Structure 1
Amino acid sequence: MKIKEIIVVEGRDDTVAIKRAVEADTIETSGSAINEAVIAQIRLAQQTRGVIIFTDPDFPGEKIRKTISSEIPGCKHAFLKKEDAKPKKGRGIGVEHASSEAIREALKSVKEEMIESIESEISKDDLLKAGLIGGQQAKSRRESLGIHLKIGYTNGKQLQKRLQMFQISRKAFLNAMDVILQEEHNE
């Protein structure tokens, strides 16, 4: 599988994992304190080939994703499930621990960030009714929703913005919630 866009990752071990899974070029941020030279490199990559942001499914990874998105609009995003990013032994979480299959699957499900802001079909009230904000199961439901819609995990405050950013339709949202509620019922 060859990837046209340049994949933005956090570090060298992530690059090794990506190159093991697909044929692609990468840019490494070297952590969450992204300097202006790296931003300029990513900006040029976005203009010439396009960019896929593929960071770890944790707080620092989300911080990097937000920093790049705010500086360089229109990026694509690939998300790994947390369980796919955990090592077989030991601790930690990251792209470097993911199997080649999980990396390829995440890259097949890339979501494109919309540059123009369009009114979301999903209201805050919809999120409350679905138990995605303000309830005991809210966090686990948001994790499940992120997996089903392939948009990654986000906190309650950012969920509506993420759904809007990736233009998730009301129908796709409701279908995912039906599946999540059915899974909870079967547990």
Structure 2
Amino acid sequence: MKIKEILVVEGKNDTNVLQSYFECETIETHGTHLSERTLALIKQAQETRGVIIFTDPDYPGTMIRNKINENIKGCKNAFIDKEKSKTSKKVGVEHANKKDLEEALMNCVTFDETSETDLSMSDLYEYNLTGNDDSKERRKRITDYMKIGESNAKTLLKRLIMLGYTKKTLDELVERVFVTK
């Protein structure tokens, strides 16, 4: 599989694994401190070929993803489930198998921070996506269905808003995920 966009990953091991499975180019962030030079390189790549941010499903990976999305608009985001990318001691893109990596890359999302919405935290409470004993599990079912990475309530709300969700479309999503017919 050839990937047109440039993949932004955290390190050399991610690059090696991805290039062993796919025809692709990467930019490595080398950790959470993104230099101005690296951000400039990512911005240039976004303007010329497009970028897919593919960071680890952990706190540092989320920090890197957020910083890139805040500074460079229109990047695609690929998410790999934590359970599909971990060993007994580590979690990361480099530990996932080809099938799971391919699925993540085929289900990229692009966030738009200018989306107008009527969605609020109270809507997440209404659907038990926060504030209940099973809220974490319910959020995981939603994020797995949407392929947007496991999230706490605040992050889920932010991602839903950036994807243009409204109360009506959240209602439809919850019905698709939780109501069996």
Normalised by the size of structure 1, how large is the TM-score?
A: 0.88
User: Structure 2 regions of 5+ residues with no counterpart?
Assistant: none
Q: What SS does the aligned partner of 2:138 have?
A: helix
The two structures, once aligned, show a CA RMSD in angstroms of 1.9
Q: What SS does the aligned partner of 1:145 have?
A: helix
Structure 2 counterpart of 1:55, one-letter code: T
Write the mapping of 1:110-121 to structure 2, written as runs, cut at 5 A: 110-114=108-112, 117-120=114-117
Taking the aligned partners of 1:94 and 1:64, their CA distance within structure 2 comes to 13
Taking the aligned partners of 2:20 and 2:157, their CA distance within structure 1 comes to 35
Which one of the candidate residues 135, 141, 149 is aligned to 2:132?
A: 135
Which one of the candidate residues 159, 163, 173 is aligned to 1:162?
A: 159
Contact kept in structure 2, 1:20 and 1:100, CA below 8 Å? no
Write the mapping of 1:2-21 to structure 2, written as runs, cut at 5 A: 2-21=2-21
Structure 2 counterpart of 1:79, one-letter code: F
Indicate the larger mover: 31-40 or 15-24.
Answer: 15-24
Structure 1 segments of 4+ aligned residues over 3 angstroms from their partners? 168-176, 178-183
Residue 72 (structure 1) shift:
0.7
Identity %, equivalent residues: 42
Q: 1:91 to 1:172 in 2, by over 3 A?
A: farther
Taking the aligned partners of 1:17 and 1:107, their CA distance within structure 2 comes to 14
Q: Does 1:104 align with 2:96?
A: no
Contact kept in structure 1, 2:123 and 2:167, CA below 8 Å? no
Q: What SS does the aligned partner of 2:55 have?
A: coil
Contact kept in structure 1, 2:57 and 2:91, CA below 8 Å? yes
Superposed CA offset, 1:57-111 (max 9, x none)? 1111100000111111111100001111112xx3111000000110110000011
Taking the aligned partners of 1:111 and 1:161, their CA distance within structure 2 comes to 13
Contact kept in structure 1, 2:32 and 2:64, CA below 8 Å? yes
Normalised by the size of structure 2, how large is the TM-score?
A: 0.90
Taking the aligned partners of 1:100 and 1:76, their CA distance within structure 2 comes to 19
Taking the aligned partners of 2:52 and 2:145, their CA distance within structure 1 comes to 20
Contact kept in structure 2, 1:32 and 1:60, CA below 8 Å? yes
Structure 2 counterpart of 1:53, one-letter code: I
Write the mapping of 1:21-32 to structure 2, written as runs, cut at 5 A: 21-32=21-32
Q: Does 1:80 align with 2:77?
A: no
Paired positions, count: 180
User: Structure 1 regions of 5+ residues with no counterpart?
Assistant: none
